[in-house]
């Protein structure tokens, strides 16, 4: 454990943005975290970093970045139907999913190949292909910066919403997530109706459905649609899929009818509709757009990319232009999923 100065952050964020941190340190336990917080108590700002897969640095960071590398995967309880697995916040998410899949513990297979670490998953309530973290979440432990105590949070405590939790709202910046416990199925329930999973399984000639096959199908789909952050800098989905009310949805349908467009949508309940942000962005002509090294990915308009030497401001400015055009064309406000620093 050591505090470094003027650290280049390119390898610590999946956008591969070349910003600098004035101070930088890594911790692998709550004890190390306590020490770092004490010796850096006079540093004006602190940022907890996980896998760096949901962050865009638009400038150098003048405080200290503390990288969470808490390890460990442990089965802490089980019964006839469920197994309870605790994972350290610093564990790579996809590696953890594959551990569970290989042990036939069901529930996370639809979330395969999502970049980042375990600690960020409840914070974002990550989701894909019809499954969200809240569906398999049991509890987490988090350390309060100021009070210096460890607190447990249940699912109700976390106040999960669409890509939201209490850690992004009322408790933003107050806690460091240490570990997360998931309740997974020993008798898996398959979720294959969302997206192209069924079609992919047919291509794979799967006859006996299992969670390993579903995980592989999701991996194939994601690889075919999304850029590998190791090759092209990105943070996955840059915007949330907008959720709008019934009247707003009807107005959007009218706009689309005039322009001979058929908008895809998901009816959440009687008065709320979700429209894919990628479709909205594509209809505004951004898919495949590139300005110097900042671009909108050619296979998925929801993903903004760094083709090499784009700055965080280049990416941010592009996102602003995209959001403005969607607002002007459809009257819908896009909200960023990526955290801006």
Smallest CA-to-CA distance from 13 within 4, 24, 2, 5 is with: 24
- 65 neighbors 24 (Cβ within 8 angstroms): yes
Q: Report how far residue 214's alpha carbon sits from residue 41's, in angstroms, rounded to the nearest whole number.
A: 47
Catalytic residue among 69, 109, 139, 337: 337
Catalytic residue at 163?
yes
Q: Where does the chain have alpha helices with state H?
A: 30-39, 93-102, 120-124, 155-158, 197-203, 211-225, 246-258, 277-283, 312-330
Catalytic residue among 165, 215, 237, 319: 237
Q: How does strand 73-78 pair with strand 82-88?
A: antiparallel
Instruction: Give the CA dihedral 109, 173, 323, 240, nearest 10 degrees.
Output: 20
Q: Report how far residue 34's alpha carbon sits from residue 38's, in angstroms, rounded to the nearest whole number.
A: 6
Catalytic residue at 337?
yes
Catalytic residue at 320?
no
In order, the DSSP letters of 141-203 are EEEETTT--EEEEEHHHHT-BTTB-GGGTTTTTTEEEEEEEEEEESS-----SSTTHHHHHHH
Catalytic residue among 163, 165, 200, 222: 163
**Helices 312-330 + 246-258 axis angle, to 10:** 90
Q: Which residues are catalytic?
A: 163, 237, 337
């Amino acid at each position: 454990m050591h505090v470094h100065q003027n650290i280049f952050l390119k390898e610590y964020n999946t956008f591969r943005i070349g910003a600098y941190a004035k101070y930088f340190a890594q911790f692998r336990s709550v004890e190390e975290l306590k020490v770092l917080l004490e010796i850096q108590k006079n540093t004006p700002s602190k940022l907890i970093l996980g896998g760096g897969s949901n962050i865009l640095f638009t400038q150098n960071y003048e405080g200290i970045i503390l990288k969470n590398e808490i390890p460990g995967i442990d089965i802490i309880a089980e019964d006839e139907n469920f197994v309870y697995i605790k994972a350290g916040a610093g564990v790579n998410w996809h590696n953890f999913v594959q551990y569970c899949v290989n042990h036939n513990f069901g529930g996370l297979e639809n979330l395969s190949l999502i970049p980042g670490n375990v600690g960020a998953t409840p914070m974002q309530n990550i989701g894909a292909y019809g499954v969200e973290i809240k569906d398999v979440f049991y509890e987490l432990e988090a350390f309060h910066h100021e009070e210096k105590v460890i607190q447990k949070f249940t699912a109700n405590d976390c106040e999960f919403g669409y890509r939201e939790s209490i850690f992004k709202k009322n408790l933003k910046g107050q806690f460091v997530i240490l570990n997360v416990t998931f309740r997974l199925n020993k008798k898996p329930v398959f979720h294959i109706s969302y997206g192209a999973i069924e079609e992919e399984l047919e291509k794979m000639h799967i006859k006996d459905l299992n969670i390993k096959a579903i995980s592989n199908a999701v991996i194939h789909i994601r690889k075919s649609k999304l850029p590998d952050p190791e090759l092209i800098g990105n943070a996955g989905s840059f915007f949330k899929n907008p959720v709008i009310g019934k009247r707003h949805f009807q107005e959007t349908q009218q706009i689309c009818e005039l322009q001979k467009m058929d908008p895809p949508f998901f009816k959440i309940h009687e008065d709320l509709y979700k429209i894919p942000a990628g479709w909205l962005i594509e209809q505004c002509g951004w898919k495949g757009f590139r300005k110097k090294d900042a671009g909108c990915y050619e296979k998925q308009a929801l993903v903004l990319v760094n083709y090499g030497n784009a700055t965080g401001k280049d990416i941010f400015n592009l996102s602003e232009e995209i959001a403005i055009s969607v607002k002007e064309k459809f009257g819908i406000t896009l909200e960023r999923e990526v955290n801006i620093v």
